[in-house]
Every structure is written in structure tokens, then in C-alpha cells.
Amino acid sequence: MQSAADSGLADVAYGLFEILLNRELQARGKRLVALVERGEDFREEIGELLAGFSADYPELAGALAEELGGADAIHALLQAGEGIVPTKTSRIYWIVQDAPGFVPGGEDDERGGKWLIFADRDHADALWKSVRDATAEGRLGISARVSTVKPNPDARDERIVIYVHTADWEDEDDVMRVRDVLRELGVEQRIGYKRNIETYHGEYSEKGKKVTFYSA
């Protein structure tokens, strides 16, 4: 019987593998979500990446193989929505979509911020797809991410949350431009925008402290 620790390692392995798979497919001019949504077979690419993954991360690859199996099993998991659809994803906490040309972890990250959108699970998948595709098209901010149904000990809300990131909280024109696009996508309720700097200082966790910088 597999322990919780082993299962946790397998989830870490799966999360890393999916990131690498996304990057490899992009390098080949393909997009993982598009392959899944079209129902295409990409087991060959998964198998090729698994071989390299096993060489580079043998412990993680072993946990992944023991928990999930090989390329066929991972392909089936992805086709079922794991890592693609928020309410069908239970192995990773977040699904991420970056805008074209965005490189995470830049030195100006503290200048960034994000719009926060809370959605009931019945509506979250469709809303995320709209936000995800608009981000991939370069119509929104630098990146977007959505929480999943994997139980998160840090979560304070049972709803799905979508973060829509912008590069510079001081660039109010760009921040509000992104807000206007979100309205076009159906986000008509008032939402808040928070700066990354408050996140880094741990101020989100202080009960009763207002840290919303913009609200619209």
C-alpha cells in the first residue's frame, strides 16, 4: 500500500512533468491544451519526454511510474482533464497559463500584481478557459493561474480562484485595460487587485487588513 508521502512525491513528479511537457510541446509548435481539447494522440511525445525525465530525475520518475504508470496512463489522465480543467484536476494546486514571451521569475516581480476572481465550481471551468485563451493570445496580462480541486491547506475559500497577473501595479492604464477585457469575458462583478509586494510581506494573511490596491 502506497504511503501518503509516496503519493505526495508522485504529485510533485506529475506537476514537474506536466510543466516540462508543456515546454517541449511549445518548442515543437504545439499546445498541450489544444491537443487535449481536439482529442489528439500525443503519447509519442510523452514517451520521449519520460525517457529524459527518468534520466534527469530518477527518484521522481520512479514515483510517477509507480503511481500512474507509463505514457499511455499519463496520456489518458491528461485527456480526462488533469492539469487542463480546474474541477478535474486533483494532482496539482494550480494550472498556469503565461502570455507569449513572458518569462517567470524576473527581477521586477515585486512591481507586479493581480486581479482576483472567485468563481463557483459550476462556472469556473468555462471562465478559466476564456481567461486562459485570452492570456495565451496576449489580450490580458503577463500570466494567469487558477486553483484546482486538490485540497489546499492554505485555501480560505471553497470557490475556485483565478489570478490574472499584470507586470506593473503602477501602470494603472494597463491594469484597467486588463479589467476591461475581463468584463468582455463575463467578469462583471466588482473584483479586487492586489500587489505582489503585499504577498511577499505576508500581509494577505492578516485578518481584517485591507490589502486591495484597486477595486473595479
Q: Could you give all domains of the chain from N- to C-terminal order, each with its CATH number? A: 4-84 (no CATH), 94-215 (3.30.760.10)
Strand partners, 116: 163, 192
Q: Is the pLDDT of residue 125 over 60?
A: yes
What confidence tier does 135 reach under pLDDT thresholds 50, 70, 90?
A: very high
Helices (H) and strands (E) in the chain, counts: 8, 6
CB 36 within 8 A of CB 79: yes
What confidence tens digit (pLDDT) does each residue in 23-50 have? Answer: 899 888 999 999 999 999 999 999 999 9
Q: Which three cell numbers stand for residue 160?
A: 475556485
Q: CA 213 to CA 187: how far, in whole Å?
A: 18
Strand partners, 114: 165, 194
Among residues 10, 9, 52, the alpha carbon closest in space to that of 27 is found at: 52
**In sequence order, what DSSP letters do the residues of 12-58 get, joined into one string?**
HHHHHHHHHHHHHHHHTT--HHHHHHHT---HHHHHHHHHHHHHH-H
What confidence tens digit (pLDDT) does each residue in 184-207 have? Answer: 999 999 999 999 887 666 555 445
What confidence tier does 208 reach under pLDDT thresholds 50, 70, 90?
A: very low
Angle at 79 between CA 73 and CA 84, to 5 degrees: 115
